[in-house]
Amino acid sequence: MTLTRWHKPEHNWELSPFRGMTTLRDEIDTIFDRAFGQLLQPGHSPQLLAGWVPAVDLYEDKDALTVKCELPGMKKEDIDISLHEGFLTISGERKSEQKKKEGEVYRTERYEGRFSRSLALSSKVNHESINATYKDGVLTVVLPKAEDAKPKQIHVNVK
């Protein structure tokens, strides 16, 4: 059994006999934008060509945003974290290891060089209480929410 996306039935074919083709074109454009959209935006480093982009998880609860970023084999001195205008940026450089001069490289899959990840934060954060830890190749950044960004419970009085 296959699942297909539901579309509102078309009733006015007399008005636009090519409407179905327009919808198909929009869907194809969306697919290409997802795959190659960053290549077309000036000033942005396209992930497709950037090489190494570390994996990131972002969690949110009522008190904080938590970011976990995989940075295996890096030293904490080579990692930079900044927060500016609602964007958390994690950047750094994985430096090359001493390579052997003898023999040929058979396979190389570990990336070296600079990287940068920027995440738009969904809530205002308390800048003074941000905490970052790095353990076992995972960077964890805890961003406590500002008081005005936390959900408020409103009690209803019954009369």
Domains of the chain by residue range:
14-45, 51-96+111-149
Residues (pLDDT < 70) of the chain are 1-22, 33-51, 98-101, 105-106, 149-150
Mean pLDDT of the chain: 78
* Matching CATH number, 51-96+111-149, of 3.40.190.10, 2.60.40.790, 3.30.565.10, 3.30.70.20: 2.60.40.790
135 contacts 70 by C-beta, under 8 angstroms: no
pTM: 0.60
Show Cβ contacts of residue 78 under 8 Å, excluding neighbours closer than 6 positions. 92, 93, 94, 95
Show Cβ contacts of residue 141 under 8 Å, excluding neighbours closer than 6 positions. 66, 67, 69, 81, 88, 90, 130, 131, 132
79 contacts 90 by C-beta, under 8 angstroms: yes
Which of 77, 57, 81 has the alpha carbon at shortest distance from 68?
Answer: 57
Report the pLDDT value the prediction gives residue 48, as an integer from 0 to 100: 45
Report the pLDDT value the prediction gives residue 135, as an integer from 0 to 100: 94
Report the pLDDT value the prediction gives residue 45, as an integer from 0 to 100: 46
3-state secondary structure of 24: helix
3-state secondary structure of 130: coil
Report the pLDDT value the prediction gives residue 43, as an integer from 0 to 100: 47
In angstroms, the CA 6 to CA 3 distance is 9
